[in-house]
């Protein structure tokens, strides 16, 4: 079986290629019917592409299967999270929240409902950096936050253990592993790389990808956060100014150092 994980719409099943599947749909009720046998065995996660959909059919179906709830407009859609809380009885559930104006409130509601969060951070506008810093502060300082908020959580752990992972891995966008199948059945790269094509061989490592394709921008070469980022924020626009996101990386680095100091000091 290939190493690829295909993010595929339910209507494009069954897939001809071998691999693992993340099945996305806005009609969750069809999944227990169309995903059976080998097809179900290859599924590593389900994505609900519309929060307005009724997820009840998935509540007790295939317990333990991870589910992602895809939010489109955080300022308007956060109340829709309440209707999906029953999924938590049988599944790890993560809400994917785009970093757009008003996203901080959506994060707080998701965390209060005990969902994990993945920020779809894009290339955030300078005006959103303050809101991003406020959400990071909330994640770091609020004792009520029991679920991970990515990409903060993975980056903090990497810095704390001095084994940073690039955001391509933390954000589930590793180009040598993930593929996206469009609603029309066309195979592309995932996320911010979707409109790009690369000539790297199928067995290229993430280091190969980073050195030969992902982090070739001039700014990345001597960036102090290269190992935690891997050139992630230079896509899709290579001229993106990383000043704001470097500030967020700096806050995470400071938090990791503080955590280490606290642990070394031991109990007060």
Site for ligand SF4, rule CB under 6 A = 215, 217, 219-220, 223, 225-226, 229, 231-234, 242, 245-246
Residue pair 145/104 in contact (Cβ under 8 Å)? The answer is: no
Closer to ligand SF4 by CB, 229 or 255: give it.
Answer: 229
The candidate with the shortest Cα–Cα distance to 223, out of 205, 245, 191, 196, is 245
Burial of 171 (0-12, 13-18, 19+ CB in 10 A): buried
Q: How far is the CB of 177 from ligand SF4 (least distance, A)?
A: 20
Nearer to ligand SF4, 113 or 251 (CB): 251
Of 144, 112, 155, 161, residue with least CA distance to 245: 155
**What is d(CA 249, CA 201) in angstroms, rounded to the nearest whole number?**
31
Taking the complex as a whole, how short is the minimal distance between the CB of residue 124 and ligand SF4, in angstroms? 12
Of 208 and 219, the one with the shorter C-beta distance to ligand SF4 is: 219
CA distance 100 to 25: 23
The Cα 3–Cα 161 span in angstroms is 27
Please state, in angstroms and rounded to a whole number, the distance separating the CA atoms of residues 73 and 132.
Answer: 16
What's the min distance (Å) between Cβ of 242 and ligand SF4? 3
CB of 229 to ligand SF4, least distance (A): 3
Q: Which is nearer to ligand SF4, 165 or 215 (CB)?
A: 215
In the complex with ligand SF4, the residue whose CB is nearer, 25 or 228, is 228
DSSP H or E segment with residue 161? none
CB 4 → ligand SF4: shortest distance, Å? Answer: 25
């Amino acid at each position: 079986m290939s190493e690829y994980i295909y993010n595929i719409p339910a209507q494009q099943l069954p897939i001809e290629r071998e691999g693992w599947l993340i099945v996305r749909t806005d009609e969750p009720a069809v999944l227990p019917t169309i995903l059976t046998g080998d097809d179900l065995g290859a599924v590593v996660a389900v994505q609900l592409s519309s929060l307005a959909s009724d997820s009840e059919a998935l509540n007790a179906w295939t317990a333990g299967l991870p589910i992602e709830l895809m939010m489109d407009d955080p300022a308007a859609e956060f109340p829709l999270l309440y209707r999906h809380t029953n999924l938590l009885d049988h599944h790890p559930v993560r809400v994917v929240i785009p970093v757009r104006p008003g996203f901080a409130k959506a994060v707080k509601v998701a965390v209060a409902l005990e969902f994990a969060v993945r920020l779809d951070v894009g290339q955030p506008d300078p005006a959103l950096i303050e809101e991003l810093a406020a959400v990071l502060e909330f994640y770091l300082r609020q004792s009520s936050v029991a679920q991970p908020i990515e990409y903060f959580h993975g980056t903090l752990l990497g810095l704390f253990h001095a084994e940073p992972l690039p955001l391509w891995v933390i954000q589930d966008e590793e180009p040598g592993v993930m593929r996206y199948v469009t609603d029309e059945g066309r195979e592309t790269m995932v996320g911010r790389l979707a409109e790009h094509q690369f000539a790297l061989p199928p067995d290229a490592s993430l280091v190969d990808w980073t050195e030969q394709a992902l982090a070739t921008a001039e700014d990345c070469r001597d960036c102090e956060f290269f190992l935690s980022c891997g050139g992630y924020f230079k896509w899709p626009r290579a001229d993106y100014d990383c000043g704001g996101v470097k500030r967020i990386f700096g806050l995470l680095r400071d938090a990791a150092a503080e955590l280490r100091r606290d642990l070394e000091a031991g109990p007060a």
